[in-house]
A and B are shown apart, each in its own frame.
Chain A
């Protein structure tokens, strides 16, 4: 058993981490740090954990040494506290945006402030098992990507890495309300959000920079909030290089994801769920990926769906932990989702 701490444990990602880690057979969750609720019961904030734990939230100062610290903090907070957690934990798995971008200048452009721990940027391994599995086996600093970025990267990576598409692509993402966090303000009132299809980032979304970084192409992204609590769906529009046909696209996806435990190819000819649908992935760690090709126009459309709190956050972080510890990658992550829901 290893001893883990969740920092920022009262948020949605923090709660999802606690749910997964409390149920994980190799992990003892020793502390749930919250600056808002120290001393209060964890299951008061996360009612789904009633009878699963008697843990109380604590302050960061109460935490002694541990094996692994998960940082589920607001953006910019992780880099301000990073030295403290590196000193107390053997591994730090960061779920904020602070160490996702490799370049402090790009960070400033997308996050609007200076990076305050630039000396550590290169030390973080991106928490994308499908791209960085070998590096993750020995990584002590892991930066888990954003939910929309994860979907966007998995949607196009097999084509981009093989040079089968032109080096620019558009990503149209739709996302549920839980992506706004547990402390969202007036913009996320039910009266404002319900029934809306709100375009909240037609340009400049932070995950755009991450997608560009990992795919090595110029990504342009739009993001729309839709009527769902959990879920992200990203549709990618790309142009195929000359002479790339449907067969080559299919082969790229098959080869790339054949042995991936959490990526499933969904491009079906029949049934009610022919392409990736976030709804049936709620609570699961799968990312479903599909594609369609217009050979005449040389146009490729790929689709990726995931649960933003799972493969788009906490689930993916636990998958990274499993890899780092040499455990089976699916340990504690086998829930297949619900249908109907």
Chain B
């Protein structure tokens, strides 16, 4: 089964397959950010750290 959560970045719906694992990374279909499951009962999603790009700034 899956449970439905809200992306903390873009507020789109994010589905998580259960049972979920702590620190598992899922990707939001709305904004393509990586989300980490930081708590399980209930599941809590947080933005996973990412590498910055520099195109000549």
Query: Interface of A with B (CB < 8 Å)?
Result: 247, 250, 265, 267-271, 274
Contact = CB atoms under 8 A, between A and B. Distances in A.
Contacts of B10: 250, 267
Given A269-B50, A270-B50, A247 B11 contact: yes
Given A267-B10, A269-B33, 10 more contacts: A247-B11, A250-B11, A265-B30, A268-B32, A268-B33, A269-B28, A269-B32, A270-B32, A270-B34, A270-B50
B31 interface: yes
Contacts, number: 23
Contact of B9 (A265, A269, A271): A269
A47 to B, nearest CB: 37
A300 B8 CA distance: 20
Interface of B: 9-11, 27-28, 30-34, 50
Contacts of B28: 269
B11 A269 contact: no
Contacts of B30: 265
A265 B30 CA distance: 8
B47 to A, nearest CB: 8
A244 to B, nearest CB: 15
15 contacts: A247-B11, A250-B10, A250-B11, A268-B31, A268-B32, A268-B33, A269-B9, A269-B28, A269-B32, A269-B33, A269-B50, A270-B32, A270-B34, A270-B50, A271-B32
Dominant secondary structure at the A interface: loop
A236 B32 CA distance: 23
Contacts of A247: 11
B35 to A, nearest CB: 10
Nearest to B7: A269
A255 to B, nearest CB: 13
A258 B50 CA distance: 29
A268 B31 CA distance: 4
Contacts of B50: 269-270
A247, A270, A271, most chain B CB atoms within 10 A: A270
A311 to B, nearest CB: 22
Contacts of B33: 268-270
Closest 6 CB pairs of A and B: A269-B33, A268-B32, A270-B32, A269-B31, A268-B31, A269-B32
B21 to A, nearest CB: 21
Nearest to B9: A269
A105 B27 CA distance: 52
B49 to A, nearest CB: 12
Nearest to A270: B32
A84 B50 CA distance: 61
Contacts of A267: 10, 31
Contacts of B27: 270
A274 B27 CA distance: 14
B37 to A, nearest CB: 17
Contacts of A265: 30
A247 B30 CA distance: 14
Contacts of A274: 32
A245 to B, nearest CB: 12
B29 to A, nearest CB: 10
B50 to A, nearest CB: 7
A131 B53 CA distance: 37
Contacts of B32: 268-271, 274
A269 B49 CA distance: 11
A247 B7 CA distance: 12
A190 to B, nearest CB: 27
A269 B11 CA distance: 13
Nearest to A272: B53
A340 B28 CA distance: 24
